[in-house]
Amino acid sequence: MRKNKLGFTLIEVSLFLAITGLLFLGVTLGVQNSIYQQRYNDAVQSFANFLSNIYDEVLNVQSLTNGRHDKAIYGKLLTFGEEKDSNNDQVLYVYDVIGKTVNSGDLGSGTTLRLLQQLGADVLFRENRDEKYKAVGIIEVYKPSWGARVQVADPNEFKDYEGTILIVRDPRSGTVRTFVRDEVLKVNETIEYFSNAEPGETEESPHILRDLLTAENFQSSQVDFCINPNGEGESNRRTDIRLMESAMNSSGVEVLPLDSDENLCNK
């Protein structure tokens, strides 16, 4: 009489465990890659939204929180590379740019930068000679999410972008203009120095931005930012976020697909 076979052999159990382990590993890696990709997509979209929101804020005229009527906010100054935080993560600063309030009909001719210079546009001021200097408005801080890095648009370079971007309204026409300076301005460091100085300890009129409002210092040019997942590894494919030359609103911020022929980050 033939006996029924009970249980599994050692070989069958081993094969089952091996196959199950491989399936589990494949699912785990797939989930990890999916999370990694989603986080990278979030970092890309977050930076694109950050730039777009700057244009929205410049277009929508703001009033100063201290109720001053003799000064107006004309735009934003963005600095890349002033400093890093304690974890060596990038820190981007956004400063309000203000100048004297004036009727557009009272302005003479001149470029946007020249008109702003005439109005004393800057990011630092004081109410009177007995007070300390202070930032003219709210200082915003932005950090790329999920450890991503904003880098230069060079397929052979994996270094952080450093520079200054000025997004302002023309005092006469109201048109928004974008200007770029390759050199980073140490604005936060300067503001901190003058904000801590007692009245009379520093020069009468420290200018951070005002004297730089010339075509020699700020040019109208296209900027391409390469968003790197973690800032390392030449094998990383990077998304190109382009700030169009003479961008006048949020439509001037363009996210280029990884496989785009115009993507300057992966050629």
**265, part of any domain:** no
pTM attached to this predicted model: 0.82
How long is the chain?
A: 267
**106, part of any domain:** yes
**70, part of any domain:** yes
Which residue range forms the structural domain that includes residue 64? 10-256
The owner of tokens 């004081």 is 126
The owner of tokens 């989930």 is 31
pLDDT in tens, 198-249: 666 555 556 788 889 999 999 999 999 999 988 676 667 899 999 998 899 9
**267, part of any domain:** no
**5, part of any domain:** no
The owner of tokens 């890349």 is 80
pLDDT in tens, 161-210: 999 999 999 988 889 999 999 999 888 888 777 777 666 655 555 678 88
Residue pair 218/114 in contact by the 8 Å Cβ criterion = no
Count of domains for the chain = 1
What does 227-239 look like in DSSP terms, one character per residue?
Answer: EESSS--TT---E
Cα 35 from chain centroid (whole Å): 24
Q: From CA 186, how far away is CA 171, in angstroms rounded?
A: 26
**46, part of any domain:** yes
What is the helix (H) or strand (E) element at residue 80, kind and residue range?
strand 71-84
What would the two tokens of residue 39 be?
């986080």
**210, part of any domain:** yes
According to the model, what pLDDT value does residue 207 have? 76
**56, part of any domain:** yes
